[in-house]
């Protein structure tokens, strides 16, 4: 993947701002409690007419503009989402059509909150073999699958999309970040920690399922926290060893924006002494597969990265899954 470059980034979040007081009321908690437990002060929720593909298209257009490319330049679109517009067809097909990228093959990837890193890996591998340009998008609308009375989940999530344009070598604007290394992990024995129980072939979303609330997102919070705290530091150390870089070489860390307090706990054993950790969760919450590219784009647009900087991306989520990518600006 040494010749694959991130040529531009983009992001989009809906206009509606939902405060922690607003989201907490139906769940029986106040905003101060949510901020103390998560560091999330507000999040954005999609308007009634907005679907995941709408957010993805907006982020994709911004990334293409940053890369100096048009939709017609794309040969591939990969959308990472666990909240598709519909079970079928793939959300990426809607994105392709709305962008007018008719020369691009388009498909979805679902690795829940790790999805954008998994999609990045797939797209980079395909480009390394056949060239061209790819649009990688992480997009989720979690507000549609949350139980408003479940304080374990509803307080965490926002809606949004983040995008990256990939190419071989420098793009028209001569800037970007070279992909140095990627690693993906799945721990299937923990697959029941994060789930939407109904709506698939195992359990259709029939009347009985709806009566049980099985159409909503569910999470075993303590076990998820244990996974992050126990696995993330060791997996990161292994990744850096595989990539041939020292922890001291990492200038920037862009983690999945799961929960601010949980990240603080998980980072205690994750020693990156020179790295600036970039966060957007205070204003956007946990945006699922969008959180890593949204945060990467925010840092890039404020000029945080300098030539030669090593940037570590880390996604983790349902599956359970984890994905790491090392970029060199």
Residue 113 has pLDDT above 80, yes or no: yes
CA separation (Å) from 132 to 13, 45, 72, 103, 127? Answer: 28, 34, 11, 11, 6
Instruction: Report the pLDDT value the prediction gives residue 115, as an integer from 0 to 100.
Output: 96
Task: Delineate the domains of the chain, giving CATH numbers in brackets.
Answer: 1-329 (3.40.47.10)
Nearest to 312 by CA among 186, 180, 224, 170: 180
Q: Which of 181, 252, 278, 286 is catalytic?
A: 286
* Residue 305, Ramachandran bin (φ over 0: left; ψ between -120 and 50: alpha; else beta): beta
Angle at 170 between CA 169 and CA 176, to 5 degrees: 110
Instruction: Report the pLDDT value the prediction gives residue 176, as an integer from 0 to 100.
Output: 82
Mean of pLDDT values over 284-299: 97
Mean of pLDDT values over 251-271: 86
**Token pair belonging to 191:** 């697959």
Instruction: Report the pLDDT value the prediction gives residue 72, as an integer from 0 to 100.
Output: 96
Residue 174 has pLDDT above 90, yes or no: no
Instruction: Report the pLDDT value the prediction gives residue 23, as an integer from 0 to 100.
Output: 93
CA 100 from chain centre, in angstroms, equals: 24
Q: What is the spatial distance between Cα 20 and Cα 284, in angstroms, rounded to a whole number?
A: 11
Q: Is 293:6 a contact under the CB 8 Å cutoff? A: no
Is residue 254 very low, low, confident or very high in pLDDT (cuts 50, 70, 90)? Answer: very high
Is residue 217 very low, low, confident or very high in pLDDT (cuts 50, 70, 90)? Answer: very high
Is residue 175 very low, low, confident or very high in pLDDT (cuts 50, 70, 90)? Answer: low
Q: What is the spatial distance between Cα 240 and Cα 30, in angstroms, rounded to a whole number?
A: 40
Q: What is the spatial distance between Cα 135 and Cα 140, in angstroms, rounded to a whole number?
A: 16
Instruction: Report the pLDDT value the prediction gives residue 270, as an integer from 0 to 100.
Output: 75
Query: Would residue 113 show up in a list of annotated catalytic residues for this protein?
Result: yes
Place of tokens 């970039």: 278
Nearest to 116 by CA among 245, 296, 290: 290
Instruction: Report the pLDDT value the prediction gives residue 230, as an integer from 0 to 100.
Output: 87
Mean of pLDDT values over 22-39: 93
Is residue 263 very low, low, confident or very high in pLDDT (cuts 50, 70, 90)? Answer: confident
Mean of pLDDT values over 155-174: 88
| pLDDT cut 90: percent of the chain above it | 85
Q: Which residue has the higher pLDDT, 65 or 1?
A: 65
Instruction: Report the pLDDT value the prediction gives residue 2, as an integer from 0 to 100.
Output: 61
Q: Which of 110, 113, 252, 259 is catalytic?
A: 113
Residue 64 has pLDDT above 90, yes or no: yes
Bridge partners of 315? Answer: 323
Mean pLDDT taken over the chain: 94
Phi, psi dihedrals of residue 211, rounded to the nearest 5°: -65, -30
Mean of pLDDT values over 316-326: 95
Helix H segments across the chain?
Answer: 20-24, 31-38, 52-67, 91-99, 115-130, 207-212, 221-243, 260-267, 281-284, 291-301
Instruction: Report the pLDDT value the prediction gives residue 271, as an integer from 0 to 100.
Output: 77
**133-141: strand order across its sheet:** 105-109, 76-80, 133-141, 159-168, 4-12, 177-186, 321-328, 310-317, 250-255, 276-277
Instruction: Report the pLDDT value the prediction gives residue 311, as an integer from 0 to 100.
Output: 97
Q: Which of 133, 252, 256, 278 is catalytic?
A: 256
Mean of pLDDT values over 184-196: 95
Q: Is 111:319 a contact under the CB 8 Å cutoff? A: yes
């Amino acid at each position: 993947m040494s010749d694959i470059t991130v040529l531009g980034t983009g992001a989009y979040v809906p206009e509606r701002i939902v405060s922690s007081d607003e989201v907490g009321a139906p769940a029986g908690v106040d905003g101060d409690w949510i901020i103390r437990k998560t560091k999330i002060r507000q999040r954005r929720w999609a308007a009634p007419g907005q679907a995941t593909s709408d957010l993805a298209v907006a982020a994709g257009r911004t990334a293409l503009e940053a890369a100096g490319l048009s939709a017609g330049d794309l040969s591939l679109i990969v959308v990472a989402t666990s909240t598709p517009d519909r079970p079928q067809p793939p959300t990426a097909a809607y994105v392709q059509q709305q962008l007018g990228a008719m020369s691009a093959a388009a498909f979805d990837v679902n690795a829940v909150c790790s999805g954008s890193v998994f999609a990045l890996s797939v797209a980079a591998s395909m480009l390394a073999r056949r060239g061209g340009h790819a649009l990688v998008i992480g997009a989720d609308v979690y507000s549609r699958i949350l139980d408003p009375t479940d304080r374990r989940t509803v307080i965490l999530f926002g809606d949004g999309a983040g995008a990256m344009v990939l190419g071989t070598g420098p793009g028209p604007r001569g800037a970007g970040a070279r992909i140095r290394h990627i690693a993906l992990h799945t721990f299937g024995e923990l697959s029941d920690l994060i789930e939407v129980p109904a709506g698939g072939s195992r359990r259709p979303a029939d009347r009985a399922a709806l009566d049980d609330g099985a159409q909503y997102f569910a999470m075993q919070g303590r076990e998820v926290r244990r996974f992050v705290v126990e696995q993330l530091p060791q997996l990161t150390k292994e990744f850096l060893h595989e990539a041939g870089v020292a922890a001291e070489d990492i200038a920037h860390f862009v983690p999945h924006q799961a929960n601010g307090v949980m990240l603080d706990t998980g980072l205690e054993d994750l020693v990156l002494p020179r790295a600036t950790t970039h966060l957007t969760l205070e204003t956007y919450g946990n945006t699922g597969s969008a959180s890593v590219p949204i945060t990467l784009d925010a840092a890039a647009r404020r000029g945080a990265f300098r030539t030669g900087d090593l940037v570590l991306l880390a996604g983790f989520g349902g599956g359970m899954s984890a994905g790491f990518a090392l970029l060199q600006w």
